[in-house]
């Protein structure tokens, strides 16, 4: 083999090694630009409000109103004055308890109604069941700003105005339609043969629902529960319209109406109340996020 042949062979081997490395580098660069960079921007935009709430809640007033001396994105001397004022100088614990009571009660009521409706629509196969399911979901699309006018009349006539029971009965009007649609999709993923075997053995529909369908639909129920609890906790329009007494207000309404005096905004207490009001929802969601994703997959795969 001549020297020229050896040189050309070494050159070919070197170029063959460089090409895979260049391709791998191009793949990593493309992945970083198309995936990680947009994901980092999304996470930053999503988490920055929570970061701003946290630093504002623990900043003293001197730092809040003097950005020329202090960095607006950092805390020089953390303080608990805003949290202490919120807990001991306002009715925030009462607001938090009322919000929790309303959210839990509305969630239980909505899940019970949605499970029965979804099972009837999906399994009983009565005439027009598909159209009934579609009509229920279309009810979810009606804006709350339109619904609260007739609902206010009903609340007044029932004597429930300015009571938490008004919210417990009103919130299912927008929770049940979506939860029913979600559970209909999840019930489709459960094999009907299991229920047929139970029917042959003499089980009733309620027994099948209680002992077979609902245990298999736990991820879907958890997903619907997360959705109902989150919307009930953060709801604003109905809580503002139906509750007037200061001590009976929910957290979203109370921190806006009770911590603002004219044109004076108590930013530290406002952000502390918003941060503490967000924690229960975040903790509740973090425990069941896997069930939430799996139930949505089951709802759309059909």
Instruction: Give the start-to-end residue ranges of the domains of the chain.
Output: 3-49, 90-300
C-alpha dihedral over 39, 41, 46, 47, to 10 degrees?
100
CA distance 26 to 29: 5
77: confidence class by pLDDT, cuts 50, 70, 90: confident
What does the pLDDT read at residue 246?
A: 85
Supply 173's token pair: 């009007």
For 199, other C-beta atoms within 10 Å of its C-beta total: 13
Decide if pLDDT at 109 tops 90: yes
Beta-carbon-side half-sphere exposure of residue 217 (alpha carbons within 13 Å): 31
For 170, other C-beta atoms within 10 Å of its C-beta total: 25
> Looking at 31-35, 203-207, 264-268, 272-276, which range is the least confident one?
31-35
Supply 33's token pair: 């630009």
Decide if pLDDT at 230 tops 80: yes
Average pLDDT over residues 135-154: 80
177 CB-near residues (< 8 Å, 6+ apart): 136, 137, 138, 139, 140
Show the CA angle centred on residue 174, arms to residues 173 and 176, nearest 5°. Answer: 75
CA distance 248 to 189: 42
CA distance 54 to 157: 43
Q: What fold, for 90-300?
A: MetI-like fold (1.10.3720)
- Which residue carries 């604003």 as its tokens? 236
CA distance 125 to 255: 48
128 Rama class: left (phi>0) / alpha (psi -120 to 50) / beta: left
49 CB-near residues (< 8 Å, 6+ apart): none
Phi, psi of 282 (to 5 degrees): -65, -40
What does the pLDDT read at residue 134?
A: 77
CA distance 5 to 59: 75
Element (H, E) at 261: strand 260-261
Query: Comparing C-alpha atoms, which of 219, 255, 293, 287 is closest to residue 53?
Result: 255
What confidence tens digit (pLDDT) does each residue in 2-31 have? 555 554 555 555 554 545 555 555 677 777
Supply 210's token pair: 């209680």
What does the pLDDT read at residue 301?
A: 45
What confidence tens digit (pLDDT) does each residue in 40-66 have? 888 888 888 888 888 888 888 888 887
Contact between 175 and 231 (Cβ < 8 Å): yes
Average pLDDT over residues 184-206: 82
Residue 184 CA: distances (Å) to CA of 106, 109, 191, 215, 270: 20, 17, 13, 15, 40
What does the pLDDT read at residue 291?
A: 62
């Amino acid at each position: 083999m001549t020297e020229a042949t050896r040189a050309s062979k070494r050159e070919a081997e070197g170029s063959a090694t460089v090409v895979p490395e260049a391709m791998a580098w191009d793949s990593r660069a493309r992945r970083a630009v198309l995936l990680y960079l947009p994901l980092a921007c999304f996470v930053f935009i999503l988490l920055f409000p929570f970061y701003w709430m946290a630093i504002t809640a623990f900043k003293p007033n001197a730092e809040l109103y003097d950005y020329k001396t202090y960095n607006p994105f950092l805390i020089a001397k953390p303080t608990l004055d805003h949290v202490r004022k919120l807990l001991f100088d306002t009715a925030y614990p009462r607001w938090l308890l009322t919000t929790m009571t309303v959210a839990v009660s509305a969630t239980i009521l909505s899940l019970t109604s949605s499970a029965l409706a979804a099972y009837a629509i999906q399994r009983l196969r009565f005439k027009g069941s598909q159209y009934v399911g579609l009509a229920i979901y279309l009810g979810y699309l009606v804006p709350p700003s339109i619904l609260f006018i007739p609902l206010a009349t009903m609340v007044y006539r029932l004597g429930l105005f300015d009571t938490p029971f008004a919210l417990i009965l009103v919130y299912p009007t927008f929770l049940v339609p979506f939860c029913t649609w979600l559970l209909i999709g999840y019930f489709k993923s459960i094999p009907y043969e299991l229920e047929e075997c139970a029917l042959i053995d003499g089980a009733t529909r309620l027994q099948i629902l209680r002992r077979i369908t609902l245990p298999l639909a736990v991820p879907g129920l958890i997903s619907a529960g997360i959705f109902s609890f989150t919307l009930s906790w953060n709801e604003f329009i109905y809580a503002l319209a139906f509750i007037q007494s200061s001590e009976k207000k929910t957290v979203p309404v109370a921190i806006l109406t009770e911590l603002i005096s004219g044109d004076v905004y108590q930013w530290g207490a406002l952000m502390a109340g918003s941060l503490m009001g967000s924690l229960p929802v975040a903790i509740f969601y973090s425990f069941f996020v896997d069930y939430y994703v799996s139930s949505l997959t089951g709802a759309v795969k059909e």
